[in-house]
Amino acid sequence: MRVLVVEDDQKASDYLANALRESGHTVEQVADGLDGLHLARHERFDVLIVDRMLPRLDGLTLIRSLREHQVATPVLILSALDQVDDRVKGLRAGGDDYLTKPYHFVELLARIEALSRRERAEPGATRLEVGDLALDLVARRVTRADRRIELTAREFQLLEFLMRNAGQVVTRTMILEGVWDYHFDPQTNVIDVHISRLRQAIDRGFPRPLLHTVRGAGYVLREEE
Amino acid sequence: MKRNRFLKTTVARIAALFAAAFVLGSALLLGAVYYAASRIIDRDIETLIVEEGNELSQQFVRLDKDAFVGLVRLRVSEFGARDGVYAFIGPGDRMLAGNLSEWPRTAARRSGWIEFDFRPQRARERELHVVRARTYELGHGYRLLVGHDVAEKRALKTVIGASLMWSVGGMLLFAGAAGWWLGRRMVKQLERVVDAVHRIRAGDLSRRLPLHGPGSEIDLLAAEFNSLLERVEQLTLAMRAVLDSTAHDLRGPLSRLRQTLERASTVPAVETERRAILESALAETDRLQAMLDSLLRIALAESGNVSMTDVDLMAVAGNVADLYEPAAEESGLVLDRRLQPVPRVQGNRQLLAQAVANLLDNAIKFSPRGASIGIDLAPQDGEVRLTVADRGPGIPAGDQRRVLERGVRLENAHDMPGSGLGLTLVAAVARLHSASIELADNRPGLKVTVSFPAAAALA
């Protein structure tokens, strides 16, 4: 993946760039908003990581100008501001996701990977499939190997979220945001319990599990080779 | 200094303004009265003079000179004491009859109206009188003057002048006294207020402005100011307490973090051990971060600078209950929901959800296995009441207020995970939504009730 990091804190930017390179991504770094806008408009990136406070051109204005110039590259906003309304402002300006500093790198990685995939996903799909697991969004039916699986409404939503991000690591906060639309850290293992219940429902009795735990990061739904 | 301050008060200015307005008004009124009255007097006097003058002029033609002198003398003796003034002079300006010592210098040669000063011969009167008179040219050097002392008009002038003076004086005195009294009262009240403000500014947040009884404008202002102070004191104390206890609570994870990192840097550990050490250090930083996040949220809720929308509390409570139900069941607890439809409240969905989450989180943490946790939502007495009740150890009645107002952790909670700011955040969110929060004994356990003003919030 080709990633543009627009961050004026040099140390933070270097740390982020190195970690991204170690994860196998190509990274460009710029330290101010105008350079960021210029580069993002004239070169192709899969994801932009934009700090909210930038010299010369602040992050939100940068994103707004990009969108005005029809550049649709997904943007992850980084911000030290964690006020409930800041997230809304960030997303309204055209950002695709919002992450508060200090963040866990795995969280950031999971989010930009989800963002880069979002572009390729078909939004109009009525049927999602991972291996022999199928989810019918219209009939609200889940089957695995043609066997009907009964899920609660909440479990259905959770599975839909995981299937839309199939093959990607999703973190607990991503799940809380995606399924419940809550932006706080629940601190306890509430999400883990939901996952383990879902796992019971879809994986029990099948030789190859689909729902995997990624240590220190979150979960991933995929067919293991 | 004090005098100066009084003169500068609004009351003093108003008193002066009113006094000036009254004085001007009464001067205008009395002036009009004087003008009208003197016009009437003038007209009466002139009619009198003209009648008398015409009569005498005709007599002059009919009578011979000596008889006319006799007539004028008769008139003088008859009317001289009653303000009548006569003079009859012959050729060479010789005074032939009359009660004037000499022909007035201002008198015209020909006939016409004059006004002159005149000193009556009556012994006691020393001041000059004004006489209005008409002179008649009788021919052959004879001239006649018929006049009238306008003492009446003068008296009127004096009376009106005197009343003007009295009223002006009285008005000034009254306005001054009233202004002085009111102003002094106000200055005194304000001085007490200013004094109180000085003390408050110096840091005595518990001080309140003095009130002087119902109704006064300064009191209304002071009462408003006092309720503002109440809030400021509350917030300041709360923030101070949160800061204190946070600084205290941050020490724990920080010192553990330090020890962990110290060990990692000194002990020549094997790779797996090093990894374990680093992971525990990361866990400590996470705990620090969670605590700071909670503090930021509390600060946000306290600031009131949050966007509010119509929120369906039943949906919020239901969603959060959904979120926590599996975790509760995993801990062997039953989540007993009794959620009724309620009117919407003005609120921030995220903060409300976090408040409910904190309540359920606590309830799950502290309840013994097999217990049930109640979450109730119902409209009651025009309020929307949300209750979360657990069967844990509860909070002693003496500590209940303290737990809400300060970020304190009770002794038995110190080994529990979490920032210890959960209830503080709930209280801050409640305050943001003008909701009241109440902790009660659930016999056994803790029962937290948050009451939202439903109708009022939507009105």
Per-residue pLDDT tens listing for chain B (459 residues): 455 565 666 767 777 787 788 778 888 888 888 888 888 888 888 898 888 888 888 888 888 888 888 888 888 888 877 778 888 888 877 888 888 877 887 765 566 788 887 776 654 556 677 788 888 888 888 888 888 887 767 777 788 788 878 877 887 788 778 777 877 777 787 888 888 888 888 878 788 877 776 667 778 888 888 888 888 888 788 777 767 777 777 777 788 888 888 877 777 767 777 788 888 888 888 888 887 888 778 878 877 778 888 899 999 999 999 999 999 998 899 999 999 998 888 888 989 999 999 999 989 988 888 889 999 999 988 889 999 998 888 777 777 776 766 555 554 444 455 556 788 889 889 988 988 888 888 888 888 999 998 654 444
From the list B300, B365, B419, which residue is nearest A84 (CB)? B300
**Digit-coded pLDDT (tens) for A97-143:** 888 888 888 889 999 888 887 755 566 778 888 888 889 888 888 98
Cβ proximity of B361 and B418 under 8 Å: yes
Please report which residue ranges of chain A form alpha helices under DSSP H: 10-22, 33-42, 59-68, 84-92, 105-118, 153-164, 172-175, 190-203
Q: How many Å lie between the alpha carbon of A159 and the closest alpha carbon of chain B?
A: 15
| Residues B327, B299 within the same domain | no
Q: How many Å lie between the alpha carbon of B378 and the closest alpha carbon of chain A?
A: 23
Going by DSSP bridges, is the β-strand pair B345-347/B309-311 parallel, antiparallel, or unpaired? Answer: antiparallel
- ipTM score of complex: 0.83
Instruction: Retrieve residue A121's tokens.
Output: 């996903």
The answer regarding whether domain A2-118 maps to CATH 1.10.600.10 reads no
Residues β-bridged to residue B388: B375, B448
> Which positions ≥6 away from A89 have C-beta within 8 Å?
A60
| Residues B323, B451 within the same domain | yes
Going by DSSP bridges, is the β-strand pair A97-100/A75-79 parallel, antiparallel, or unpaired? Answer: parallel
Give residue limits of the domains in chain A: 2-118, 127-221
CB atoms within 10 A of CB B276: 14
Q: Which residue, B254, B276, B305, sits at the end of a domain?
A: B305
| Residues B310, B454 within the same domain | yes
| Residues B345, B222 within the same domain | no
Q: Is A173 left (phi over 0), alpha (psi -120 to 50) or beta?
A: alpha
| E-only strand ranges, B223-382 | 309-311, 334-339, 345-347, 372-380
* CATH assignment of the domain containing B436: 3.30.565.10
Tell me the chain B residues in contact with residue A197 when contact means C-beta distances shorter than 8 Å.
Answer: 326
- Distance separating alpha carbons of residues A200 and A151, to the nearest angstrom: 11
Confidence at residue A123, expressed as pLDDT on a 0 to 100 scale: 66
From the list A85, A187, A193, which residue is nearest B417 (CB)? A187
Q: What is the helix (H) or strand (E) element at residue A135, kind and residue range?
A: strand A133-136
B259/A192: higher pLDDT = A192
What is the chain A residue with the closest CA to B328? A190
Q: What is the helix (H) or strand (E) element at residue B253, kind and residue range?
A: helix B217-266
| Residues B244, B233 within the same domain | yes
| Residues B366, B436 within the same domain | yes
- Domain annotation covers residue B176: no
Confidence at residue B124, expressed as pLDDT on a 0 to 100 scale: 59
| Residues B394, B273 within the same domain | no
3-state secondary structure of B270: coil
Confidence at residue B5, expressed as pLDDT on a 0 to 100 scale: 61
Confidence at residue B234, expressed as pLDDT on a 0 to 100 scale: 81
- Domain annotation covers residue B345: yes
| Residues B377, B398 within the same domain | yes
Cβ proximity of B165 and B27 under 8 Å: no
Check A180 against B323: CB less than 8 A apart. Answer: yes
| Residues B280, B402 within the same domain | no
| Residues B53, B131 within the same domain | yes
Confidence at residue B459, expressed as pLDDT on a 0 to 100 scale: 41
- Distance separating alpha carbons of residues B194 and A154, to the nearest angstrom: 61
Single-letter amino acid, residue A182: Y
Q: How many Å lie between the alpha carbon of A194 and the closest alpha carbon of chain B?
A: 6
Q: Which residue, B305, B325, B345, sits at the end of a domain?
A: B305
Cβ proximity of B45 and B132 under 8 Å: yes
Check A185 against B319: CB less than 8 A apart. Answer: no
Phi and psi for A82 in degrees, rounded to 5? Answer: -120, 45
What is the chain A residue with the closest CA to B299? A83
Confidence at residue B458, expressed as pLDDT on a 0 to 100 scale: 47
- Domain annotation covers residue B171: no
Q: Which of B288, B198, B283 is nearest to B251 (CA)?
A: B288
Residues β-bridged to residue B371: none
- Domain annotation covers residue B160: no
B123/A85: higher pLDDT = A85
Tell me the chain B residues in contact with residue A84 when contact means C-beta distances shorter than 8 Å.
Answer: 300, 306-307, 348, 350-351
Indicate yes or no: pTM above 0.80: no
- Structural domain including B285 reads 205-305
Cβ proximity of A195 and A145 under 8 Å: no
Candidates 3.90.1170.50, 1.10.10.10, 2.40.110.10, 1.20.1440.230; correct CATH number of A127-221? 1.10.10.10
Phi and psi for B120 in degrees, rounded to 5? Answer: -65, 155
A47/B178: higher pLDDT = A47
Instruction: Estimate the share of chain B in helix, then strand, then coil, as percent rounded to the nearest 5.
Output: 60, 15, 20
Confidence at residue A130, expressed as pLDDT on a 0 to 100 scale: 87
| Residues B268, B310 within the same domain | no
- Distance separating alpha carbons of residues A57 and A37, to the nearest angstrom: 9
| Residues B335, B355 within the same domain | yes
Phi and psi for B437 in degrees, rounded to 5? Answer: -125, 140
Distances (CA, A) of A207 to A109, A147, A174, B102: 30, 14, 28, 151
Q: Which of B99, B52, B53 is nearest to B80 (CA)?
A: B99
Check B357 against A186: CB less than 8 A apart. Answer: yes
From the list A84, A185, A187, which residue is nearest B350 (CB)? A84
Q: Please tell me the total count of domains within chain B.
A: 3
CA dihedral (B394, B397, B398, B403) in degrees, to 10, reads 50
- Domain annotation covers residue B165: no
- Distance separating alpha carbons of residues B438 and B431, to the nearest angstrom: 12
> Are A2-118 and A127-221 the same fold in CATH?
no
Distances (CA, A) of B62 to B55, B73, B255: 11, 17, 139
- Domain annotation covers residue B179: no
Preferred mutation among B287, B306, B330 to probe A, highest tally of A CBs within 10 A = B330
Cis, bond preceding B444 (omega within 30 deg of 0): yes
